[in-house]
Amino acid sequence: MPVYSHSRLSTFESCPLMYKLNYIDKIEREREGVEAFLGLRFHEAMELLYKDLRFKTHTLEELLSFYDSSWHKEWHDEIVITKKDRKAEDYYNLGKKCIEDYYKSYHPFNSSRVLSLERMINIELDKDGKYKLTGYVDRIAQDDKGIYEIHDYKTAGTLPAQKYLDEDRQLALYQIGIQNIWYDVKDVKLIWHYVVFGKEMVSTRTPEQLDKLKKDIVCLIDTIEGTKEFIPRESGLCEWCVYPDLCPKRKHLYKVEALPPNKYLEDDGVKLVNTYVNLTAEKKKHQEQIDAIDNELEMVKEAVFEYSKKEGLEAIRGSGHKLKISEKQKAVFPSKGSPERDEIKNILRQSDKWDEVAELDTYAAEKAISEERWDKKLIDKVKKFLKFETRRSVSLSKLDEKEK
């Protein structure tokens, strides 16, 4: 069994097909998004800051100079900017501001002792060592009360709710990992730095929660290992997928996006979609007319009922057609799952009529009652649970030769 990671598990949960292409088929695709690039540059600056802290405290100017040098050294033209209204400079300035805000908030960086930076953590989920995970912790520290801290830097543009972080598994898994490294690890704070917002968010886990997490991850790994068909799953993450040409949900989009305008409109798929859109719009236009006619018909029906009742008529003659008006009493059975319906079922089961209305076919039962095909005592028992509604109907027919 392979050694898993939080990102590997998350990939399966996000899209099983992407998981297969990446981790099973091992199809390598190099695509670096600007968000990930920005995140790496910020992490590098934090690693420099805390790595040298035992010897010196870098000035803000030194840290920004390092960030600037790293950004321009690593930048390349293949970095993808998905948001069309953004430029590389926008992300550069955002990263610079994040460093400035972080520096001003935490200087002189002595609230806790740094124990490790960018440390690889091995996590065993069972006693036999069959289920294993690995991961990298941005920073591990310990405060003056002996409480361990697991720090994680996030350059994401959205701020999650506290409930989400209280259920987050990544840092909780790292807590399990550091408990296997240092045996004095008891109290642990999980700390996320959402640096775009200048906000620190904290959560903790109980031993019971960590035990449940282990079991949940084991179940998830078993699910992954037992999966035979890896179905693609669409989400907002598809915009960052590196396999659009291999995904049945996205590959036509990928194909036509690359076509010049004159070729785009000639694509058979584009033609079919455009035709479908046009017909749907045409149908909607006619449906609105049909709905208007249906509403007017209902008003005419009401007028017919009122007229027939007033004049005592069962049929109304027109120039070449006639309307027949009828009223019937219809038995309405209690709704499914109600005690009354269950009572009717028990009554019928105790009789010899249950097979006629298997699982209470209300149409068959109503017919048997209206035609009085059952014993009167049985009908009376069932009727006690029924409601009767008057159903009115109008039927249209041509006048026959005699009527003309």
DSSP-assigned letters across all residues of 26-95: -------BHHHHHHHHHHHHHHHHHHSTTT----HHHHHHHHHHHHHHH--TT-B--STT--HHHHHHHH
What does DSSP say about strands 4-5 and 132-142: parallel, antiparallel, or unpaired?
parallel
Looking at residue 262, its pLDDT comes to 59
- What does each C-alpha distance from 150 to 65, 291, 344 come to in angstroms? 27, 62, 63
3-state secondary structure of 159: coil
Q: Which one of 289, 313, 337 terminates a domain?
A: 313
- Minimum mean pLDDT among 96-110, 227-241, 369-383: which range? 369-383
Secondary element (H or E) of residue 158: none
3-state secondary structure of 257: helix
3-state secondary structure of 165: helix
Percent of the chain with pLDDT over 90: 50
Q: Say how many C-beta atoms besides its own lie within 10 A of residue 166's C-beta.
A: 15
Q: Say how many C-beta atoms besides its own lie within 10 A of residue 119's C-beta.
A: 16
Asked if residue 167 belongs to a domain, the reply is yes
Asked if residue 245 belongs to a domain, the reply is no
Looking at residue 43, its pLDDT comes to 97
Decide if pLDDT at 313 tops 70: yes
Q: Assign residue 69 the CATH number of its domain.
A: 3.90.320
Q: What's the total number of domains in the chain?
A: 3
Looking at residue 272, its pLDDT comes to 63
Contact between residue 306 and residue 383 where contact means Cβ atoms under 8 Å apart: no
Residues 279 and 351 in one domain: no
Decide if pLDDT at 358 tops 70: no
Write the pLDDT tens digit of every residue in 252-293. 665 656 666 556 556 566 566 667 777 778 788 888 888 888
Residues 301 and 392 in one domain: no
Mean pLDDT, to the nearest integer, of 32-45?
94
Task: State the residue range of the domain holding 393.
Answer: 314-398
Asked if residue 248 belongs to a domain, the reply is no
pLDDT bracket for residue 330 (50, 70, 90): confident
Buried/exposed code over 129-152 (b: 16+ C-beta within 10 A; e: otherwise): eebbbebebbbbbbeeeeebbbbb
Looking at residue 404, its pLDDT comes to 59
Q: Which one of 263, 287, 313 terminates a domain?
A: 313
- Look at the block and give the residue holding tokens 């409480």: 147
Q: Of 81, 72, 85, 91, which Cα lies nearest the Cα of 32?
A: 81
Rg, C-alpha atoms of the chain: 36
Residues 299 and 323 in one domain: no
Query: Which residue type, as a one-letter code, is found at position 41?
Result: R
Looking at residue 203, its pLDDT comes to 97
Asked if residue 251 belongs to a domain, the reply is no
Q: Say how many C-beta atoms besides its own lie within 10 A of residue 298's C-beta.
A: 10
Looking at residue 396, its pLDDT comes to 85
Asked if residue 355 belongs to a domain, the reply is yes
- Minimum mean pLDDT among 105-119, 263-277, 300-314: which range? 263-277
Q: Of 34, 174, 64, 46, which Cα lies nearest the Cα of 114?
A: 46
Burial of 79 (0-12, 13-18, 19+ CB in 10 A): middle
Q: Which one of 168, 200, 226 terminates a domain?
A: 226
Looking at residue 252, its pLDDT comes to 61
Write the pLDDT tens digit of every residue in 177-222. 999 899 899 899 999 999 999 999 999 999 999 999 999 999 999 9
Residues 201 and 295 in one domain: no
Q: How many angstroms separate the CA atoms of 331 and 293, rounded?
A: 31
Asked if residue 100 belongs to a domain, the reply is yes
Residues 185 and 279 in one domain: no
Question: What's the chain's average pLDDT?
Answer: 86
Mean pLDDT, to the nearest integer, of 225-229?
92
Mean pLDDT, to the nearest integer, of 86-107?
96
Residues 292 and 329 in one domain: no
* Cβ-based neighbours of 190, under 8 Å, separated by 6 or more: 150, 152, 165, 168, 171, 172, 174, 175, 202, 203, 204, 205
Residues 283 and 320 in one domain: no
Nearest 5°: phi and psi at 205? -130, 140
Looking at residue 121, its pLDDT comes to 92
Residues 30 and 169 in one domain: yes
DSSP 109: -
Percent of the chain with pLDDT over 70: 89
Residues 298 and 164 in one domain: no
Q: How many angstroms separate the CA atoms of 386 and 141, rounded?
A: 72
Asked if residue 247 belongs to a domain, the reply is no
Residues 325 and 385 in one domain: yes
Residues 308 and 319 in one domain: no
3-state secondary structure of 125: coil
> What is the DSSP annotation of 332-395?
EPPPTT-HHHHHHHHHHHHTT-GGGGTT--HHHHHHHHHTT-S-HHHHHHHHTT-EEEEEEEEE
Highest mean pLDDT among 53-62, 266-275, 350-359: 53-62
Asked if residue 262 belongs to a domain, the reply is no
Residues 309 and 350 in one domain: no
Looking at residue 309, its pLDDT comes to 83
Looking at residue 257, its pLDDT comes to 60
Q: What is the pTM of this model?
A: 0.64
Looking at residue 269, its pLDDT comes to 61
Buried/exposed code over 58-69 (b: 16+ C-beta within 10 A; e: otherwise): beeeebbebbee
Highest mean pLDDT among 30-44, 260-274, 362-376: 30-44
Q: Of 314, 312, 334, which Cα lies nearest the Cα of 323?
A: 314
Query: Which residue type, as a one-letter code, is found at position 329?
Result: Q
